A and B are shown apart, each in its own frame.
Chain A
């Protein structure tokens, strides 16, 4: 080895730093996601003679049912995504671009559905829709429409937050200039603002699509038995029939669907991604005004639409839940259900009280959030670079998509894969499968893509000339990062923290396979309460769901507070 000369040292060091920034997340994802999933899927392709057996494909694809399920999966994911975006973009405008009293509360409120356990949401939704229920006249119970509505209910906030996070920092002057030159508000939006937002919208749409494509509980509960998706089929084939061949084929199909969706999203983003003029949110938000000089303003339509969505889509199911949680078992109204949260339920349905479970949830979520933000932050940093070489750009784009995959792979595949691989992995003397350590890790794997998608649009919008200018003025790379990227990234990091925390609070799929009764999380406890007979347990399940909703809202509000515009953050 020769000793490197000084000019090289910096570059090599920088390369090494970037290499490491990419390596840590890759190792994490490799151990806690790729290895388990590949191991389980590979089992499905091992024939009776121990060789490779791909005959499962022909078998699965020769059944008409498979095609029906594939069609339904795509159809509900496309519709769920389309409606979430159509309703979410105006929502992002009203909640992040306009100022009005109570804005932060509404922002927190729309995030709540995102974390509620599907079993409770299912009961709340179906209670509204069932024949004789308040919305029974719509005849939506066990229909495809009910599934789509519920998907939008869950994912609306993803679009609002992801798009809103970028929109609030967009410099309003470009649009104002267009207006001054005579463009209508709609035209100014379409030609100036929308192109700038496209990367964030594509980001949000890709997340929502993956969530919808892998929705499990929503489809089972609201669709009744007629509707199945690839995800529900993988679930049933794996947990009930242990038909790993069929499950493996379906997992590959799911992966193909997801990869295709990610490619489309990437293309859309890459075309549009460019440096934007970002400003502090304080200067870009304007007071919400519905009327000016006796005429409706451009804010009226989005505000009205958002109000309807918040009240009907989010408010009605949540309101049903809250109201019912005050119904006393045996009749009347009161706080009995909440008083019971300190107990282990009617006839000891639980091994921990709901408050203990809430503590477990918060502890687990805090850990998962730290993991997700550190690793997701590293990924976002690496992926936000724009290398000059084509190969480098391609590598970056692949890396970007790879970290999205956990959202598009069935929780049951990950959970069962853990069982096969994480018995004292890497020579550690811990059976990770049953130690409880795996819960925050599994949650972090799901939260990382959301962190990346939340931070990335902002990072990518930073004008590289800012960095170049700083470097020209003699700032070392570390300093450039601290003074240019850091402050801007910190803003969206607040959003990301809240998001990661929410995901982890509500995660149930993988968690349910790793549950330890003595350290059960809130969703696990809720699932258990609602699965036991007894009015008292039912009431507690509803009250516990309200507690989970309030926790989420509080965490979101806190994350918003932490993010507040700091002085000196002008750029």
Chain B
């Protein structure tokens, strides 16, 4: 069949163009380091059996040797993708549940746990020999999510500032709304930051569904400052950090004082108010429709194994969910957990979270 030369040429050029694009993609693949193989791609049996992909947030960390030992023992290669944290992570999993981004998720916390379960993002799996303490944090029927670590979000205080000012440090949430602490507190926005959401939930737990909005109205009247994210609050507004800002009370974590030790390490310049806390629990789970479900289960087993649990405090600065694991020195003194953090049931959070954030915005911002 005869064709015009132009058409042939066009076809040939199109092929060339496509070839160039593919060559670029191939080049990209080679330049991505030595592990640029596709995450969990490929339906060929050789490619799926030995790779397991962990979808997590950017705070996930594990010691090289601990991870290497697991890979050695299981014969699996662990790939990590970190597409966001908190709500962004869970919502991406919901959007992609038919064709998930990986096999296992780590980093869904108790503020989003029910939502992830209700949306069918996870496949049921309970690791064998799970510690009682980790099992006690189960959500819902307890089959989809496994608690891996936990930490408390609390108001932090700059000791020196209050000593210099001669004002006693506040203790409770109620204190924060008192006139002597006017214009001293900075917190973060629950719509954009996970500690912000945790603190909002602490107030819901403390004052009930009917009282928390009034409390925030009082806080607002008392000059609470709300900023976008944790780093902004801690490094710009807080007086007890690098930034040396104007406010001596900041929303942070119960472990933060361990980062502000004096030269000799005998004391910390900041402290956490343990009566203002909300407990964040982080979970792992096998993703529904995972390409490598067996590998996924092995990885969840690993996340609650003693080797990984003992690695959690040093790597992620959270408490291991397994309370039989020894903690690093100094934690009891400078980074203790709250005895009685405020609680809100995960199902309640799931049902009301968006509505609470909007009500909060209406109370504090508008």
Interface residue? A535 (CB, 8 A): yes
| Per-position binary interface string of chain A over residues 399-434, scored 1 when its CB falls under 8 Å from any chain B CB and 0 otherwise | 000000000000000001001100110000111011
* Contact A15–B6 (Cβ < 8 Å): yes
* Contact A130–B245 (Cβ < 8 Å): yes
How many A-B pairs have beta carbons closer than 8 Å: the answer is: 238
* Contact A430–B41 (Cβ < 8 Å): yes
Name the contact of B24 in the complex, choosing from A367, A517, A533 (C-beta under 8 A): A367
Minimum distance in angstroms from B182 CB to a CB of chain A: 14
* Contact A435–B36 (Cβ < 8 Å): yes
* Contact A13–B246 (Cβ < 8 Å): no
Contacts of A226 on B, CB cut-off 8 Å?
365
Contacts of A324 on B, CB cut-off 8 Å?
242
Q: Complex formed: what's the CA distance from A138 to B9 in Å?
A: 65
Interface residue? B354 (CB, 8 A): yes
Residues of A111-160 whose CB lies within 8 A of B: 119, 122-123, 126-127, 130-133, 142
* Contact A240–B101 (Cβ < 8 Å): no
Contacts of A236 on B, CB cut-off 8 Å?
191-192
- The residue in chain A whose Cβ has the minimal distance to the Cβ of B95 is A419
| Per-position binary interface string of chain A over residues 475-518, scored 1 when its CB falls under 8 Å from any chain B CB and 0 otherwise | 00000000000000000000000000000000000001111111
* Contact A516–B13 (Cβ < 8 Å): no
- The residue in chain B whose Cβ has the minimal distance to the Cβ of A240 is B87
- The residue in chain B whose Cβ has the minimal distance to the Cβ of A537 is B259
User: Secondary structure at chain B's binding surface: helix, strand, loop or mixed?
Assistant: mixed
* Contact A429–B41 (Cβ < 8 Å): yes
- The residue in chain A whose Cβ has the minimal distance to the Cβ of B2 is A1
* Contact B5–A434 (Cβ < 8 Å): no
Minimum distance in angstroms from A338 CB to a CB of chain B: 16
Minimum distance in angstroms from B364 CB to a CB of chain A: 7
Name the contact of A533 in the complex, choosing from B2, B43, B227, B253 (C-beta under 8 A): B253
Name the contact of A119 in the complex, choosing from B27, B231, B365 (C-beta under 8 A): B231
Contacts of B13 on A, CB cut-off 8 Å?
16-17, 20
* Contact B246–A518 (Cβ < 8 Å): no
* Contact B101–A241 (Cβ < 8 Å): no
Minimum distance in angstroms from B227 CB to a CB of chain A: 6
Interface residue? A225 (CB, 8 A): yes
Interface residue? A335 (CB, 8 A): no
* Contact A221–B31 (Cβ < 8 Å): no
* Contact B101–A419 (Cβ < 8 Å): yes
Minimum distance in angstroms from B337 CB to a CB of chain A: 16
* Contact A19–B10 (Cβ < 8 Å): yes
* Contact B314–A130 (Cβ < 8 Å): no
Contacts of B236 on A, CB cut-off 8 Å?
123, 126-127, 130
Minimum distance in angstroms from B1 CB to a CB of chain A: 7
- The residue in chain A whose Cβ has the minimal distance to the Cβ of B63 is A348
Q: Complex formed: what's the CA distance from A154 to B295 in Å?
A: 46
- The residue in chain B whose Cβ has the minimal distance to the Cβ of A368 is B28
* Contact A123–B232 (Cβ < 8 Å): yes
Interface residue? A531 (CB, 8 A): yes
Minimum distance in angstroms from B325 CB to a CB of chain A: 17
* Contact B228–A533 (Cβ < 8 Å): no
* Contact B84–A513 (Cβ < 8 Å): yes
Minimum distance in angstroms from B307 CB to a CB of chain A: 16
- The residue in chain A whose Cβ has the minimal distance to the Cβ of B243 is A127
Q: Which of B75-83, B159-167, B342-350 contacts A (4 or more CB under 8 A)?
A: B75-83
Minimum distance in angstroms from B83 CB to a CB of chain A: 5
* Contact B92–A513 (Cβ < 8 Å): yes
Interface residue? B99 (CB, 8 A): yes
Q: Complex formed: what's the CA distance from A65 to B191 in Å?
A: 16
* Contact A239–B32 (Cβ < 8 Å): no
Contacts of B1 on A, CB cut-off 8 Å?
1
Minimum distance in angstroms from A441 CB to a CB of chain B: 8
Contacts of A531 on B, CB cut-off 8 Å?
58-59, 229-231
Contacts of A133 on B, CB cut-off 8 Å?
245
* Contact B259–A533 (Cβ < 8 Å): yes
Interface residue? A524 (CB, 8 A): yes
Provided the pairs A19-B10, A434-B102, A538-B235 are in contact, do residues A240 and B192 lie with their beta carbons within 8 angstroms?
Answer: yes
Residues of B12-56 whose CB lies within 8 A of A: 13-14, 17, 20-21, 24-25, 27-29, 31-33, 35-36, 38-43, 53, 56
Interface residue? B226 (CB, 8 A): yes
- The residue in chain B whose Cβ has the minimal distance to the Cβ of A542 is B242
- The residue in chain B whose Cβ has the minimal distance to the Cβ of A236 is B191
Provided the pairs A131-B246, A437-B28, A535-B242 are in contact, do residues A122 and B232 lie with their beta carbons within 8 angstroms?
Answer: yes
Interface residue? A263 (CB, 8 A): no
Minimum distance in angstroms from A213 CB to a CB of chain B: 19
Interface residue? A315 (CB, 8 A): no
What are 27 contact pairs spanning A and B, CB under 8 A? Answer: A3-B4, A15-B6, A19-B10, A20-B14, A23-B17, A126-B236, A142-B227, A225-B227, A239-B91, A240-B191, A329-B242, A351-B61, A360-B33, A363-B32, A367-B28, A429-B41, A434-B101, A512-B83, A513-B92, A516-B82, A519-B32, A530-B231, A531-B230, A532-B317, A533-B317, A534-B259, A535-B242
User: 8 nearest interchain CB pairs?
Assistant: A12-B6, A434-B39, A239-B88, A431-B41, A16-B10, A240-B87, A242-B91, A220-B228
Since A220-B229, A225-B361, A516-B79 are in contact, a sample of 14 more A-B pairs with Cβ atoms closer than 8 Å, ordered by chain A residue number, is A16-B6, A23-B17, A130-B236, A131-B246, A224-B227, A240-B357, A370-B24, A419-B83, A434-B101, A436-B28, A437-B25, A528-B59, A530-B235, A533-B252
